[in-house]
Chain A
Amino acid sequence: MSDRRLIALGLALIAACAFFLFWGLKGPAGFILELRAVKLASLLLVGAAVGVSTVVFQTVTGNRILTPSIMGFDSLFLLVQSLMVLTMGGLGYAMTGGPAKFLLDTALMMAASLALFSLLMGRGRGDLHRMILVGVIFGLFFRSMTAFVLRLIDPSEFAVVQQVMFASFGAVDTTQLAMAAALFVPVFALLWRLAPSLDIVALGRDSAVGLGLRHDRLATVLLLLVSALVAVSTALVGPVSFLGLLVAALAHQLMQTPCHALLLPAAAMIAGLVLVIGQGVFERVLGLQSTLAVIIEFFGGLLFLYLVLGGRRR
């Protein structure tokens, strides 16, 4: 952790957090500060989850273009949500808020994402074209399934689904936040311990096995951890498709190292920076509420196009 770039990132993040907490603070500060602190915590948590999970996912699958969300994860989330509305009804869906729904969401998403990721680990691993194709096809499939399910839903209940279709960093439930944190801490700790092994995984399966790493077992464990992170952060704030791609690319660009003990914290802090500064500027300076997700998607989408159209091969 003695890397100079990491220290700079850390200092920048602290400054951004201070700006987020104290900028434009007036009147009875206590209550507002508490609100802001909750929001800040959720931004940092989600950012860390998205950044770390994307870097790990790209290392395990051996590519720099695909991310869990591009693999159709966000469309899967929407599908699960609309299926819930369909089976429970809008009222039932709205009532199963809080911890129960959060746990259900997370469990469902983890199961589904594991199934999705396992498709990547077969013989097609390393075949980038095949992986992008699989991702696009599944994204399309989930989206059309969602459209189909939405058609079956009562129009009056449609609004309930619509609410979850876009990421929102606005209102985050503190109980959910605490649960997410309780899950993330051990996951991050485990990934931190596995960081040196991740360096070897990045060499590709053959080299990793040759060096005596239990590659297949480790890859499954890593993808399980990734699905937990992605599932929880999606359940917390909704789908953010391109944030991971943006952050992972920035982390690799900044650090230029194969060492995951440096890459993972860098990705977590960069994601925190992007979210905290973005949300802070939009909310405090521009007085806009829900545009951050849109802006992130815009720049992330541009980056995706650039990468696919051949900026960098891997």
Chain B
Amino acid sequence: MIAVRNLSHRIGGAPILTDLTLDLPKGGITAIIGPNGAGKSTLMGLMARLLPIQEGQVEVDGHCVARTKTEALAKRLAIVTQRVGVASRLRVGDLVGFGRWPHHHGRPRPEDHAAVERALEAFDLLELRGRFLDELSGGQNQRAFIAMGLAQETDWLLLDEPLNNLDMYHARALMARIHGLSRAGVRSVVMVVHDINYAAAWADHVVALKDGKLDFQGAPREVLTSARLSELFGMKIGVEEIAGRPTVLHHA
């Protein structure tokens, strides 16, 4: 479980997160939703110690993020951020290989190579492994970074808007892959998603943020209602039950 307690964050005096307290259940997929600027990326950054915690506390499986050694945390939790830029000229295979760094610190062993192979295969990247990152499409690039997070083989995998740039086929493939891992009890996944229908279809738990505060949370079936979503996004949002799950009709 990731336990967030009274977490507040300010940037230059402006409150970004205010007194946030929530539990992300272990196992399964947690979807974080909310309007742009709600503080979703900031929350992910704080949970993964990319940002220093100013006020409050985050615990990952009982380990306080602020006080756990960063090397140790890298074996428990992997994060793929929203905007990733790389200065060096990297091949896909090299990038995914760097996901193993927490385990070998520069001296890859056979099991590290095997993990890289699995991650490449899981994301359909075997054919692209020799290509340079700057010669890939946005979606291929994104898949490479997610594969790197997967290769880290941590209990927790944090993905910030992983479906950006992905076509329908690869978005669905990614969700199915993550779902499979979480079902097998291998990973707990926390992901920011904008398309509520993906959250409805695949997530076990939904957390909605608005203006740096918790708006609502719970099982998708219970919380993804027209009233709640309309309030969250400030627009009229219809929700229909299709094939047994809530489906958002936001184009109308």
B106 at the interface (CB under 8 A from A): yes
Give the one of A62, A126, A199 with max B CB within 10 A: A199
Partner of B101, one of A63, A211, A314: A211
Q: Which residue of B lies closest to A255 (CB)?
A: B89
Instruction: Label chain A's interface by main secondary structure.
Output: loop
Asked whether A126 and B85 contact (CB < 8 A) given A212-B71, A258-B90, the answer is: yes
Whole-angstrom distance from the CB of B132 to the nearest CB of chain A? 8
Is B74 a contact of A212 with CB atoms below 8 Å?
Answer: yes
Is A62 a contact of B85 with CB atoms below 8 Å?
Answer: yes
Residues of B within 8 A of A203 (CB): 86, 88, 95, 98
Is A212 a contact of B75 with CB atoms below 8 Å?
Answer: yes
Distance between Cα atoms of A213 and B106 in the complex (Å): 12
Is B50 a contact of A200 with CB atoms below 8 Å?
Answer: no
Partner of A59, one of B79, B88, B95: B88
Partner of A314, one of B87, B98, B148, B149: B87
Is B89 a contact of A212 with CB atoms below 8 Å?
Answer: no
Distance between Cα atoms of A205 and B90 in the complex (Å): 16
Whole-angstrom distance from the CB of B74 to the nearest CB of chain A? 3
Is A210 a contact of B79 with CB atoms below 8 Å?
Answer: yes
Is A212 a contact of B87 with CB atoms below 8 Å?
Answer: no
Residues of A within 8 A of B74 (CB): 210-212
Partner of A204, one of B78, B86, B105: B86
Is B89 a contact of A210 with CB atoms below 8 Å?
Answer: no
Is B87 a contact of A63 with CB atoms below 8 Å?
Answer: yes
Residues of B within 8 A of A252 (CB): 88-89
Is B102 a contact of A202 with CB atoms below 8 Å?
Answer: no
B77-93: CB near A (< 8 Å → 1, else 0) gives 01111001111111000
Residues of A within 8 A of B98 (CB): 199-200, 203, 207, 211
Is A212 a contact of B73 with CB atoms below 8 Å?
Answer: yes
B49 at the interface (CB under 8 A from A): yes
Asked whether A210 and B87 contact (CB < 8 A) given A197-B106, A258-B94, the answer is: no
Question: A interface, how many residues as a size bin?
Answer: 20 to 34
Is A204 a contact of B70 with CB atoms below 8 Å?
Answer: no
Is B87 a contact of A62 with CB atoms below 8 Å?
Answer: yes
Is B94 a contact of A211 with CB atoms below 8 Å?
Answer: no
Asked whether A200 and B101 contact (CB < 8 A) given A210-B74, A214-B70, A258-B94, the answer is: yes
Whole-angstrom distance from the CB of B133 to the nearest CB of chain A? 10
B229 at the interface (CB under 8 A from A): no
A62-73: CB near B (< 8 Å → 1, else 0) gives 111000000000
Is B89 a contact of A204 with CB atoms below 8 Å?
Answer: no
Residues of B within 8 A of A168 (CB): none
Distance between Cα atoms of A313 and B149 in the complex (Å): 26
Residues of A within 8 A of B84 (CB): 204, 206-207
Q: Which residue of B lies closest to A205 (CB)?
A: B50
Tell me the chain B residues, 54-80 only, with Cβ under 8 Å from chain A.
70-75, 78-80
B8 at the interface (CB under 8 A from A): no
Asked whether A212 and B101 contact (CB < 8 A) given A203-B86, A204-B86, A207-B84, the answer is: yes
Is A211 a contact of B88 with CB atoms below 8 Å?
Answer: no
B146 at the interface (CB under 8 A from A): no
Is A213 a contact of B87 with CB atoms below 8 Å?
Answer: no
Question: B interface, how many residues as a size bin?
Answer: 20 to 34
Residues of A within 8 A of B72 (CB): 212
Q: Which residue of A lies closest to B81 (CB)?
A: A206
Distance between Cα atoms of A313 and B94 in the complex (Å): 21
Tell me the chain A residues, 65-95 only, with Cβ under 8 Å from chain B.
none
Is B50 a contact of A206 with CB atoms below 8 Å?
Answer: yes
A163 at the interface (CB under 8 A from B): no
A98 at the interface (CB under 8 A from B): no
Partner of B85, one of A196, A199, A204: A204
Whole-angstrom distance from the CB of B152 to the nearest CB of chain A? 7
Whole-angstrom distance from the CB of A129 to the nearest CB of chain B? 14
Distance between Cα atoms of A205 and B70 in the complex (Å): 13
Residues of A within 8 A of B81 (CB): 206-207, 210
Distance between Cα atoms of A210 and B75 in the complex (Å): 10
Distance between Cα atoms of A214 and B101 in the complex (Å): 13
B48 at the interface (CB under 8 A from A): yes
Tell me the chain A residues, 37-73 only, with Cβ under 8 Å from chain B.
58-59, 62-64
Whole-angstrom distance from the CB of B112 to the nearest CB of chain A? 13
Asked whether A202 and B88 contact (CB < 8 A) given A196-B106, A197-B106, A212-B74, the answer is: yes
A11 at the interface (CB under 8 A from B): no
Q: Which residue of A lies closest to B71 (CB)?
A: A212
Distance between Cα atoms of A204 and B81 in the complex (Å): 11
A209 at the interface (CB under 8 A from B): yes
A256 at the interface (CB under 8 A from B): yes
Known: A205-B50, A210-B48, A314-B85. 18 other contacts (CB 8 A): A62-B85, A196-B105, A199-B106, A200-B101, A206-B84, A207-B84, A207-B98, A207-B148, A210-B50, A210-B149, A211-B74, A211-B152, A212-B73, A212-B74, A252-B88, A256-B89, A313-B134, A314-B86
